[in-house]
Structure 1
Amino acid sequence: MTDDPFADTSPWDDPTTPPLTETPVTAPAPAPNAPAPFKIGLTVKAGPDYGAEWLTPAVYGHTAIETAARGVELLAAMKEKGLIEHNARFAQYTRDQYKGGANSTPKRFENGKVVAAPSSSDYTCEHGQRTFKDGGSWAAYFCGGRGLDKSAQCSPMWRQKDGTYRTN
């Protein structure tokens, strides 16, 4: 401070000079630390059918215009760098590698219950072809004599731990 309270001069005697004002330096606004509130999820599908490949990128931004601009940039970059074509080739390669399992036949129902598929196994008894039943944790071939009293039926052949079937 340059004012001397004990000086013989009056502050009103000094010529008025405008105070120096510094021109504000406009620095770029710092990037916000908060998550971007705008999101655009894009779906790029390679074909019209169900099995076509999908790319599902997303772009984020702090304003709607910024987010839209990023989306345009992303799609242009994906096209320019060949990402879409590369994804289609990779998906085809993956499909070619998959051998798949054997097609299973649909379950048959009788009176609201699942009926075992007709088996062409060699498990027979004196009453005919045995009937296969699978209860999840157990499985067995039962006597093929329909309509017989339980005491007249043959003993069931139960699945063993090694996968074979034996009567107990």
Structure 2
Amino acid sequence: MTYPDPFEDKSPWETATPQTTTETSTPSPVEKPMTDGNKVRVTLKGGTSYDAPWITIDGVNIADALEQLANKEQVKELIDATAKVGQYFASTGKPSTAGAAPKRFENGRVVAQQADGAPEVVNDQCPHGRKHFAKDNWEAMFCTERERANQCPPAFKDKKTGKYLVKS
């Protein structure tokens, strides 16, 4: 089969001329399994979190996938083995960081954050803790003390340095 020249000035879709091909009667060396057009992949997940182990079963069609799942003893063995290997594999790695705050980037750099995930406030003397707020063109860390009279002064973000500074 010949293909149109991609560097021609005309579009290949405008005047398509039928190309003649010569068919050979040589059978394909690889026989494809018979399918009804319904390839299917069944995924069994061992939990709701992202780090839960999972198993996939591929069937050439729906009937094949159902037949594989119907073999309860083998499927049960596979699930048990996957659970054991998953537990062992998880025990060899770092503790899960699921639920941790994502890193914050500014100007291509990671913004320093405190252990609780809050951004760092320079020379912070607030014993109550701070909560981050951001509006259109400013960001600040405000004291979390309930009584307004006892709240510490806010720490506003310095756009030049990217750090939070307490304004007194």
TM-score range, shorter chain: 0.3 to 0.5
TM-score norm. by structure 1 comes to: 0.38
Structure ranking higher on relative contact order (CA contacts 8 Å, 6+ apart): 2
TM-score norm. by structure 2 comes to: 0.38
Structure with higher Rg: it is 1
